[in-house]
Amino acid sequence: MSQTNGNHILQTDKATIRFGGLVAVNELTMNVAQGEIYGLIGPNGAGKTTIFNLLTGVYEPTSGDIRIAGKRVNGMKPYEISRLGVSRTFQNIRLFPSMTVLENVITACHRHSKQNLADAVFRLPRFHKDEGEHREFALDLLRIFNLEKYKNEGGTSLPYGNQRRLEIVRALATRPQLLLLDEPAAGMNPIEQQDLTGLIKEIRDKFNLTVVLVEHNMRVVMGVCDRIQVIDYGKSIALGLPQDIKNDPKVIEAYLGD
């Protein structure tokens, strides 16, 4: 499904960020089409996670533009960008430790909450209706990921692979159009990786998503991505279909050295 119908959900135009003298991301231009699974790869320290932090508003670009669904988001706060339909997972899992699996997911329904403080304080009908809807929605999502049976367990007490999946569920609970996955396969065994590959495609189709993922595991990247962009020292060095990237001499050089 590598359609490029000009309908770009995410675009960066020469986005650059400097930390003092270090140019962490250097004039990066990305054009991610609606419905695409877009891979960002590169050696360690290439700036992939920094790119995610730029896209989600954790950092503001020093120069250049970032557009989400055509809207310029430079300088917007992370929660504002989240409201535009961008959700993410984190490289080192950031679940809410004292919450259960279910609470973790319901918390992420915040953006779609219809209750206000007065509804909650006086427990008005709208509160109960809203809570019930979130609960059902969260349980449905957990069911898709086979995590429903753990709903009352502490989120961070799950095995590592399931914590990663739970983080994806939580990200989906914000009902995004664009999902950013930061090393979703990290710490997973080969079978879990295989499942993940299928899962990413499945959720893309099911939730009508666009997915951008940063990943080190080549099997996952090659198996799931429609297009891949290779980053090295904050610069884009290659962009193309998985099989082209695999054979690109510049990419091989970046990974293996010359």
Partner 1 sequence: MSSWTKSLAIAAVLIAVIYVINAMMSAGGFFGTGIDDYQARLLVFIAINIILATSLNLINGFTGQFSIGHAGFMAVGAYSSAYFSVTYGKTIEASLASLGETAAVSVVLLIAIAIGALVAAVMGLIVGIPSLRLKGDYLAIVTLGFAEIIRIVILNIDVVGGATGYQVPGYANFLWIGIFTVITVIVVHNIVRSDTGRALISIREDELAAEAMGVNTTRYKVTSFVIGSAFAGIAGVLFAHYNKFLSTNDFQFIKSFEIIIMIVIGGMGSMSGAILGAIVVTLLPEVLRYMQDVQNQNVEPMLGIDLPFNIGDLRLVIFALILILTMIFRPQGILGTREFGLSWLKRPMRAPEGGDAGSDEGTPIAQQPAARRLENEEDKDR
Q: What are the φ/ψ torsions at residue 44 (nearest 5 degrees)?
A: -55, 140
The DSSP bridge pattern shows strands 63-68 and 71-72 to be: antiparallel
> At CA 169, angle to CA 165 and CA 175, rounded to 5?
150
In the set 4, 14, 75, 79, which binds partner 1 (CB under 8 A)? 79
The gap between the terminal CA atoms of the chain, to the nearest Å, is 34
| Encoded tokens for 197 | 């590959």
Which CB atom, from 81 or from 245, has the smaller least distance to partner 1?
Answer: 81
Query: Footprint of partner 1 on residues 154-173 (CB under 8 A)?
Result: 154, 156-157, 170-171, 173
Which CB atom, from 92 or from 247, has the smaller least distance to partner 1?
Answer: 92
Which CB atom, from 7 or from 116, has the smaller least distance to partner 1?
Answer: 116
Which CB atom, from 19 or from 79, has the smaller least distance to partner 1?
Answer: 79
Candidate ranges 10-18, 106-114, 140-148, 219-227; the one touching partner 1 (CB under 8 A): 106-114
Residue with tokens 């896209």: 55
Site for partner 1 contains 98 (CB under 8 A): yes
Site for partner 1 contains 117 (CB under 8 A): yes
3-class DSSP assignment, residue 29: strand
Handedness of CA 228, 38, 93, 162 (dihedral sign): negative
146 backbone φψ class: left, alpha, beta (φ>0; ψ -120 to 50): left
Site for partner 1 contains 212 (CB under 8 A): no
Q: Which residues bind partner 1 (CB under 8 A)?
A: 56, 58, 77-79, 82-83, 87-88, 90, 94-100, 102-103, 106-111, 113, 115, 117, 119-123, 127, 130-131, 134, 152-154, 156-157, 170-171, 173-174
